[in-house]
Structures are given as C-alpha cells and as structure tokens.
C-alpha cells in the first residue's frame, strides 16, 4: 500500500474547543502518524502520514473537527511522506 502525507490548515473556531485532542485520538485510532498544533493566527496546522485511505479519512474529519468546533475552511497540500512517527500534539 502506498503511503501519503497531507499538510492541512484549518480555520474557523478551532482553538479552545478540543480540536487538537480530538484530532490526536482520531489519528491514533486510524494508525495515522504526524502532528497537530495551534497557530498564532487562530488556525490549526496538521500533518497526517499513512495509508492513503486513512489520511483521506483524517482530512475529511478536519471538515467537522471536534464537537464544539466550527470549521470555516480546510486547506490541504499533498506532500511526500517524511516518516513522522506516532501522532502528537505540538506546542
């Protein structure tokens, strides 16, 4: 199976609503590697690496996010995998 990588920026009400923690849980359930972090401009930045179907599933998750999130936009760039390791929340 081919591995893929998606670099994602999510905007809207996505900070302070458990977006990062929920993303980490969802990614670990799917066996997706990478990370998530808040940006100073209010967006959330994420990198997902894994099997294509699992990464696509995580990108779809970003359109909804956590229960309290209100996603306005999701910007996705596909990149070459870099071998991220276990999914984590970055500070």
Architecture of the CATH domain 3-89: 2-Layer Sandwich (3.30)
Mean of pLDDT values over 66-91 = 95
Q: What is the pLDDT of residues 33-47, one digit of tens each?
A: 999 999 999 999 999
Q: What is the DSSP string of 49-87?
A: EEEHHHHHHHHHHHTT-STT-EEEEEEEEEE------S-
The helix (run of H) or strand (run of E) holding residue 19 is: helix 19-30
pLDDT value, residue 91: 86
Q: What is the pLDDT of residues 69-80, one digit of tens each?
A: 999 999 999 999
Q: Where are the domains of the chain?
A: 3-89
Q: What is the pLDDT of residues 13-35, one digit of tens each?
A: 999 999 999 999 999 999 999 99
Confidence of residue 2 (pLDDT cuts 50, 70, 90): confident
Indicate which residues carry an active-site annotation: 20, 38
The pTM of this model reads: 0.95
CA dist 47 and 88 (Å) reads: 10
């Amino acid at each position: 199976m081919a591995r893929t990588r998606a670099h994602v920026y999510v905007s809207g009400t996505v900070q302070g609503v458990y977006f990062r923690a929920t993303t980490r849980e969802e990614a670990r359930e799917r066996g997706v590697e990478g990370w998530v972090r808040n940006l100073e401009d209010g967006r959330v930045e994420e990198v997902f690496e894994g099997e294509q179907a699992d990464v696509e599933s995580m990108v779809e998750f970003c359109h909804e996010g956590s229960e309290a999130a209100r996603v306005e936009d999701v910007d996705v760039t596909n990149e070459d995998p870099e071998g991220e390791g276990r999914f984590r929340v970055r500070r």
